[in-house]
Amino acid sequence: MERFAMLGLDMSTLWTKYQAQYWHGIVNTLVLAVIGTVIGCLIGFVCGILQTIPYTKNDPLPKRFILKLVRVVLRAYVEVFRGTPMILQAVFIFFGLPYFTNGAHQWTNIWAVSILVVSINTGAYMAESVRGGIISVDPGQTEGAKAIGMTHVQTMIHVILPQAIRNIIPQIGNNFIINIKDTSVMFIIGFTEFFATHKSVVGASYKYFPSAAIEMIGYLIMTLLASFLLRLLEKKMDGSNSYELVQDDSLTMTAGTYNHPGRGTPFDERNPEAVKSMMREELRRQAERDEALRQGQLAEQRREGGIHAPNNDQREGQ
């Protein structure tokens, strides 16, 4: 117990003396983790969507070649950045630029290179998460969207991605928590985050373990808060367990194809093939209506002719 009391006293002394530096490191860690995760998610969404664009043997050769090439490049990107440590990625990017340019170009903004490293690393993990989230959506929903004339882009935006995002929210949160911890490797290129603050405090005070204890508690609090906020976000996206469908307009169709005055419908942009099919069907129905009208007119004329015919015979008999 005496050692724990001494540890607490040393931690209190370090925090009181260096709390400004610790807070600076905490803020830098959180900002870098948030920005890196957001940009990484955007990269992951783009990569995941590109990897799931469908193509068939009947598609033009240039389209198939481009999509296959894109998938090969994205696969290489994912494997490289998932298969190497972030600390080595930071070293390679930060020191590789002046090495390959023979010192002509160097990174002058440490924030920019740190955000770049965290973003592309997160994007590699998110690419597979997004691809899995898209694949997890029932294929019948894609077929149903195409059946009502929606394009691939509209299907992704209005049908697939909203469900895929909900499915991968836990993975996004997991990557954010990982980034809070993994930003500690950015000290290797001179970025002042929470762990770099620990190293500078230790160099000034020679109290390694008490400072490390402060670091551990700080990282634990940050990750617990992040987990709590992410669980709240998941519950918010899930919505209420029981709800009622309320329609102010009795003409509103629950299928979601109601055309709001002045707003139109989210499906105004139709698939060209579906539009042609609808036009052909409308022309066929119009032709059937015209034919029915013509047949009705002929029948009316025959009835009228049948009524007057006996009168003419009677007049001839008289």
pLDDT score for 39:
95
- 113 pLDDT band, cuts 50/70/90, is very high
Stretch 74-97: mean pLDDT, rounded? 92
Question: Are the beta carbons of 168 and 130 closer than 8 angstroms?
Answer: yes
Question: Are the beta carbons of 219 and 177 closer than 8 angstroms?
Answer: no
162: helix, strand or coil? helix
Is residue 199 predicted with pLDDT exceeding 60? yes
pLDDT tens for residues 138-169?
888 888 888 888 887 888 888 888 888 888 88
**Full-model pTM:** 0.70
The tokens of 84 are what?
């190497």
- Residue 94 CA to residue 96 CA, distance in Å, equals 6
pLDDT score for 261:
47
Is residue 307 predicted with pLDDT exceeding 60? no
Structural domain boundaries of the chain? 8-238, 270-318
CB atoms near residue 300 (< 10 Å):
10
CB atoms near residue 17 (< 10 Å):
13
- Residue 162 CA to residue 299 CA, distance in Å, equals 58
Query: Partners of 260 in the beta sheet?
Result: 264
Is residue 214 predicted with pLDDT exceeding 90? yes
CATH number assigned to the domain covering 8-238? 1.10.3720.10
Residue with tokens 């928590």: 177
- Residue 205 CA to residue 202 CA, distance in Å, equals 5
Q: Which DSSP string do the residues of 132-154 spell out, in sequence order?
A: HHHHHS-HHHHHHHHHTT--HHH
